[in-house]
Amino acid sequence: MFCAYGVLMPGFLLYDDACHLKSRMMSLMGSYWESAAGMCIAILIDKFHFSNHVNPWCVGALSPFKFKGLNLADADGNPLRNGVNTESCEQRFRIMNKYKDTVRQKPGGSFRFFTLRLCDLLNCQRVHADPTPSPIPRAPV
């Protein structure tokens, strides 16, 4: 599926408060194209926050275990250990939150650079890549 300017849209969105997001998108569907586009993808509650939801509509319609594309449950609906890591943002936030006091007083540009570089280093560590930055190519003279 494509959205504005030919950018490929994801097939699903995992969000901690997906029930309120979905209902808000439904209420705005005639007013904004983004709401209509959002209704074309599966919006689900992530596994980490799913146990906090008790509304029957949330549990029935937005369960990540019922969406087959995530490989979170077997054919009988029993949770699997493998599959999409729906808690990845929570895990990344836990790591990033350790640096909140370091970057609190930094000006905007320094804060953004520090955050970007930290994310880059964490991603390199995760995929076992060399974190040494490559030289910036110079424009031809």
pLDDT digits (tens, 9 = 90+) for 35-76: 777 778 888 888 888 888 888 988 888 888 777 777 666 666
Q: Which amino acid, one-letter code, is at 132?
A: T
Q: For residues 8 and 80, what is the distance between their CA atoms, to the nearest angstrom? A: 28
Q: Residue 2: what pLDDT?
A: 45
Q: For residues 63 and 134, what is the distance between their CA atoms, to the nearest angstrom? A: 43
pLDDT classification of 1: cutoffs 50, 70, 90: very low
Q: Residue 104: what pLDDT?
A: 78
Please state the φ and ψ torsions of residue 109, each to the nearest 5 degrees: -65, -40
| H or E segment and range at residue 58 | helix 56-61
Q: Residue 74: what pLDDT?
A: 64
Question: pLDDT digits over 74-126, tens only?
Answer: 666 666 666 677 777 777 888 888 888 877 777 777 878 888 888 888 888 87
Higher-pLDDT residue of 69 and 140 is: 69
* pLDDT tops 80 at residue 19: yes
CA 78 to chain centre: 24
Q: Can you name the residues that pair with 44 across neighbouring β-strands?
A: 14
pLDDT classification of 16: cutoffs 50, 70, 90: confident
Question: Residue 39 in contact with residue 9, Cβ under 8 Å?
Answer: no
Put simply, whether the predicted model's pTM sits higher than 0.75 gets the answer no
